[in-house]
Structure 1
Amino acid sequence: MSKKICSTISELPEDLLLKILSFLSTKHAVVTSLLSKQWKFLWTKMPRLVYDVCDHKDHTSFEQFIDKSLFLHPHHVLESLYFRLNSMVKIGPWISRVFHYHHCYLRELQIDAGAAYTPIPHELFTCKTLVVLKLQGESIKVEGLTTVCLPSLKTLHTDHSIIFSSVPLKLLLSNCNFLTDLKIIWISGVCLFEFDVSWCKKLVALKLEGLMDVISLSSSSAVCLPFLNTLHVTHIWKLNNDFFCRLLSNCPLLSDLTLEEKTSNVMLDLNIVLPSLQRLSIITKFNSSTHLCSLLENCIGKLAIIAPSFKYFTIQEDMSLSILIPFYVRVRLGDPSKLEYTSVFDRIVHLEQSICDEISQRTLVDLLQRFTKLVVLKLENVYRLTLYVYRWDMPSFVPECLLSSLEALEWRRYTGKDRDKGLMSYLLSHALCLKTVKIFSDVENKQQIVEDLASMPRGSKSCRLVFK
């Protein structure tokens, strides 16, 4: 049976052409209407429109493009809409138009407003078809709202938004009976509102940051979140740690948990059984490698008892008030039934760590010395601006894992500078079981890095190096 071969892109099926257009910005998708009669109205069948101010030379052309394209797009086709703005563009009238003409069909709305003052029309909060609502921006507001009815809403994300200063959170959630994914991040000063866990008992994912408290007004009976799988709670102003940790015992499916160190300590002290927990992330003030190793040992040791499914552990530096990339350490535990170990560190077979300064390099050496069964090591450069230029200080010992177990090494954002070359040379020359090394770099002079890597001695004769 012969197959028809398409000689031009225009001969492809329409659904495939629409799929191709979906990878373009709306601006470039509209430009394809100039190709031929077949393409003239094809973009109007796209169910998702993306309006990004960065695609336009100025805000005037951006506004004109939105005006014209929204007017031409059939209201029964549009299902998803995304706006990315700046301080020069106000989209309130367009949102009103969208809900006037597309109200019965829109399923997803995402607004990234930056610092732009963005008033939201009341129609948004009575849209019966809306499933996903994501609002990001410091000045997204709605005034005088008294009625909320979002019966289809499943995902609600508000990121760096002060919308709840004018819309009570309880009112917003009161008629969202099918909400499963809720994220609220507040960083603009002190937040004076609380979240009551009894408002959304069907949640699967809950992420809260910067609120005053996480409470339950239903004090007469324990609140159960039977479907909750992911819970991230950080920087809560007046968090009742004892109550909150007892709440965790009523989340039988909880598998992904992020907490601050002080809250995690209470959780571990209460010996709350977490049968489904697989991932724990702790946000903390990083003091030293000694502090980090103590935290690893304490948490992994206790979680081995109260969380039998536990596998992944992350410790991340608390830098909520900084624009710097945080220092982090991530580990994965091996199957205890397949390992012989005398300490909790022997269970760690996978390590990921950021390299940001001299302390983080020394921390890496300390961890390698303790993780005697390590198989995979992944590093990422997140160097910060500093006036102090340091070099790699080679230790006087070789960690056991380099001699007997490490098989895979990956390094992202490798610079090829002395501080990187020293550590890389040390790892390559002493890792006797190493099978693969993957290096990712975005520097201009990559050829010099390749030559430097090729000249480094290798302890493993079977090691294969891949540079990207």
Structure 2
Amino acid sequence: MVLSKRWQPLWKLVPKLVYDDEGYQNIVYGKFSRFVDRSLILHEAPIQALDFKLVQTSGAADIGIWTAIAVKRCVRELSIESSPSTTPVTLPRSLYTGCTTLVTLKLKSVTLVDVSSLPSFPTLKTLSLICVKYPGDEFVKSLLSNCHVLQDLEVERFDNDDVTVFTIVMPSLKSLHFIGDEEKDGEAGLVIDAPLVENMYIHNVVSGFSVIKNDMPKIVKARIVVSNSHPGTILGYITSVKRLRLCLFSTSKEVHPAGTDFQYLVNFHPIPDQTRPCWIEPSSIPECLLSSLETLKWEKYEGREE
């Protein structure tokens, strides 16, 4: 733009816009917001991707307007990241009632509000929810169940997200990444009904329960770290897994559900737990261990009696 005037209008045609206020120290309040307003109004081409990183308080009050503009401009990829220490960012209702073209949505440290109609993302395939605050259990269940073509889901919960039981009912889901190490009461938990999942990571150890409702015949790779008094509510539904990394904080003797067989398992790696109790003899052993085990690697034995 400095060397040639013909470059001056070309930014209006770029398909991806990134607004990041992190690098601006002591920014004049409102200056960043005015810059975003002007550039969005002047931009002429269809916006394929829009990315907001609001580390300071400069755009928290205006993110609703910017999101509404993105919806009207038929954006396909939208990312909104806020800092937990700044003014809470509340997203408008239009985000999950009018996005008919959105393919990727990534939200971090924002608040979702309830709507009278069902939230719907008919084209959404990738969804990331990091430290998001929700209107409640039913909203989460309705939101996810109405993402009919979603394939990749990432969730990281925090203590005050206003959800007790996080329910994931998604027939189209192929990849699930869930971290729920929040302090909740005994009724808190995770319920999964996603039969087409191929890759799964679950880390849910602080409190509550973790349950899988139906078999996952397509599962290939799983990493599971859970605190659960009945591990069979998970292990009994992933017997088709080929690669498994597992750590159970369990007080149950029935760790492996009787009558199930991990016949496709080719790689199993128990994740060390330094706080685990002494060894408890299980009442049943998986058939694959009895009939076809070839290699056993035991780390950190240290001569302990158990």
TM-score, structure 1 normalization = 0.48
Higher helix share: 1
Which of 253, 266, 275 lines up with 2:231 in the alignment? Answer: 266
Which of 122, 125, 132 lines up with 2:104 in the alignment? Answer: 132
CA contact (8 A) 2:140 2:167 kept: no
Match of 1:64 in 2: 34
Change (3 A) 1:225 1:278: same
Change (3 A) 1:234 1:131: same
Change (3 A) 1:188 1:263: closer
Which of 175, 185, 189 lines up with 1:213 in the alignment? Answer: 189
Deviations 1:408-432 (A, max 9, x none): xxxxxxxxxxxxxxxxxxxxxxxxx
| Partner Cα distance (1:58, 1:106) in 2 | 31
Deviations 1:306-350 (A, max 9, x none): 25343363626699xxxxxxxxxxxxxxxxxxxxx975029x9xx
Match of 1:310 in 2: 266
Shift of 1:190: 8.0
| Partner Cα distance (1:190, 1:127) in 2 | 24
Tell me, which stretches of 5 or more residues in structure 2 are unaligned? Answer: 183-187, 276-292
1:110 corresponds to 2:86: no
Change (3 A) 1:255 1:39: same
Alignment map for 1:54-453 (pairs within 5 Å): 54-60=22-28, 61-74=31-44, 76-100=45-69, 103-115=72-84, 116=86, 117-125=88-96, 126-137=98-109, 140-147=110-117, 148-165=119-136, 168-189=139-160, 192-197=163-168, 199-210=169-180, 212-215=188-191, 225-235=195-205, 237-239=207-209, 244=212, 247=214, 250-260=215-225, 262-263=227-228, 266-267=231-232, 274-282=239-247, 306=262, 308-311=264-267, 313=269, 315=271, 344-345=296-297
CA contact (8 A) 1:195 1:213 kept: yes
| Partner Cα distance (1:207, 1:164) in 2 | 22
Tell me, which stretches of 5 or more residues in structure 1 are unaligned? Answer: 1-32, 217-222, 286-297, 300-304, 320-340, 349-362, 368-468
Aligned residues, how many? 266
Identity of aligned residues (%): 22
Shift of 1:214: 2.8
| Partner Cα distance (1:41, 1:226) in 2 | 47
Q: Which has the larger radius of gyration?
A: 1
Change (3 A) 1:130 1:174: same
CA contact (8 A) 2:102 2:124 kept: yes
TM-score, structure 2 normalization = 0.70
| Partner Cα distance (1:342, 1:144) in 2 | 54
Change (3 A) 1:54 1:215: closer
Change (3 A) 1:34 1:318: farther
SS at the partner of 2:224?
A: strand
| Partner Cα distance (1:119, 1:268) in 2 | 36
Give the structure, 1 or 2, with the largest relative contact order (CA under 8 Å, sep 6 or more). 2
Shift of 1:255: 2.0
CA contact (8 A) 1:104 1:128 kept: no
| Partner Cα distance (1:192, 1:103) in 2 | 30
Shift of 1:39: 1.8
Change (3 A) 1:283 1:306: closer
| Partner Cα distance (2:123, 2:5) in 1 | 38
Deviations 1:45-93 (A, max 9, x none): 221111111232333343333223222212x421111111124223453
Change (3 A) 1:184 1:315: same
Deviations 1:219-263 (A, max 9, x none): xxxx660344324242374215xx53x74xx11121222222555
Shift of 1:157: 1.4
Deviations 1:166-212 (A, max 9, x none): 98112322432111122222122585432334x21111112333372
Change (3 A) 1:142 1:306: closer
SS at the partner of 2:143?
A: helix
Change (3 A) 1:273 1:94: closer
Amino acid at match of 1:310: V
CA contact (8 A) 1:128 1:152 kept: yes
